[in-house]
């Protein structure tokens, strides 16, 4: 069992619900890889959201693992990085497999059949359009959900958040309607074209089709280089924590300096009293 750090939702709030493009792109790279790893094990996650991605703690997280996590039933952590420049603090883990489903037989590699009239599984905010329509989920749906997560980080909220309805069913219907009526280009307006390209690609995948994970990673890696960012694993929260630590150290240093003259003055006073 591994102790993991805060979720991306926690860190988003810590950063005042604003991530820089550098942080979003570094996260996208790891998130695509985590989902790909799950898919190679013949499972789909079906609940991709910021709360289910956790940052590691300490150096011992820097390994490939698939182990139980006690907090959640049928849960495991997934991390696949072999990069020696990683530390546990920089590594992203995918958790909570309570809604996961095997989409392919281990031995025969036979894909599950296409079905309709399915209930919505997962979190409505990030669910794929096909999931809203009651279509059996497959690999494409995990990837589409990730696209909404990335735009949530970019925009700070999604157009279908905060909709009011009398029942949960009616709310899901409103979310579905808003999601389907919002063109990808409108959702991604004001942000690099790669995000719209990502979502359009995922929405265009066939039910049994394997996503081209490398193509999707490359979309964001090329954008990252074009923007002249350094892949140093320095996330927004890293900067905030470093700044807070520096301020604390500075305050502590000023406190010590303030005490020293007082001490000297006391000694001088004592000396005068003796004289």
What's CA 242's distance to the chain center, in Å?
Answer: 21
Q: How far is the C-alpha of 208 from the C-alpha of 164, rounded, in Å? A: 35
Q: What is the pTM of this model?
A: 0.84
Are the CB atoms for 208 and 197 separated by under 8 Å?
no
- Dihedral sign of CA atoms 46, 48, 51, 57 in order: positive
Alpha-carbon radius of gyration of the chain: 24
pLDDT in tens, 218-235: 999 999 999 999 999 999
pLDDT at 2: 67
Residue 47 a catalytic site member: yes
Taking CA atoms, 243 is separated from 14, 48, 170, 239, in Å, by: 13, 31, 45, 6
Q: Where are the domains of the chain?
A: 4-234, 241-275
Q: Which of 2, 47, 141, 236 is catalytic?
A: 47
What topology is assigned to 4-234 in CATH?
A: Transferase(Phosphotransferase); domain 1 (1.10.510)
pLDDT in tens, the chain (275 residues): 568 999 999 999 999 999 999 999 999 999 999 999 999 999 999 999 999 999 998 653 433 333 323 333 344 566 544 444 445 568 999 999 999 999 999 999 999 999 999 999 999 999 999 999 999 999 999 999 999 999 999 999 999 999 999 999 999 999 999 999 999 999 999 999 999 999 999 999 999 999 999 999 999 999 999 999 999 999 999 999 888 888 888 777 665 554 534 444 434 433 333 43
């Amino acid at each position: 069992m591994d102790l993991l750090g805060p979720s991306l939702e926690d860190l988003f709030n810590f950063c005042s619900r604003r991530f820089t493009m550098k942080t979003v792109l570094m996260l996208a790279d790891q998130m695509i890889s985590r989902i790909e790893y799950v898919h190679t094990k013949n499972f789909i996650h079906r609940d991709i959201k910021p709360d289910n991605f956790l940052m590691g703690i300490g150096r011992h997280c820097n390994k490939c693992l698939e182990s139980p996590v006690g907090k959640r039933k049928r849960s495991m952590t997934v991390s696949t990085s072999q990069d020696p420049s990683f530390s546990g603090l920089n590594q992203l883990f995918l958790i909570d497999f309570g809604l996961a489903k095997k989409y392919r037989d281990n031995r025969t590699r036979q894909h599950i059949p296409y079905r309709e009239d399915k209930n919505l599984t997962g979190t409505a905010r990030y669910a794929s359009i096909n999931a809203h329509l009651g279509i059996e989920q497959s690999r494409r749906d995990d990837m589409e959900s990730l696209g909404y997560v990335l735009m949530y980080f970019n925009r700070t909220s999604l157009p279908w958040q905060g909709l009011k309805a009398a029942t949960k069913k009616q709310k899901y219907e409103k979310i579905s309607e808003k999601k389907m009526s919002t063109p990808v280009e409108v959702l991604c307006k004001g942000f690099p074209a790669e995000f719209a390209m990502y979502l359009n690609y995922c929405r265009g995948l066939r039910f049994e089709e394997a996503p081209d994970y490398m193509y999707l990673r490359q979309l964001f890696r090329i954008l990252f280089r074009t923007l002249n960012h350094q892949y140093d694993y320095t996330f927004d929260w890293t900067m905030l924590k470093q700044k807070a630590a520096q301020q604390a150290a500075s305050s502590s240093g000023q406190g010590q300096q303030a005490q020293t003259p007082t001490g000297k003055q006391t000694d001088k006073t004592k000396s005068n009293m003796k004289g």
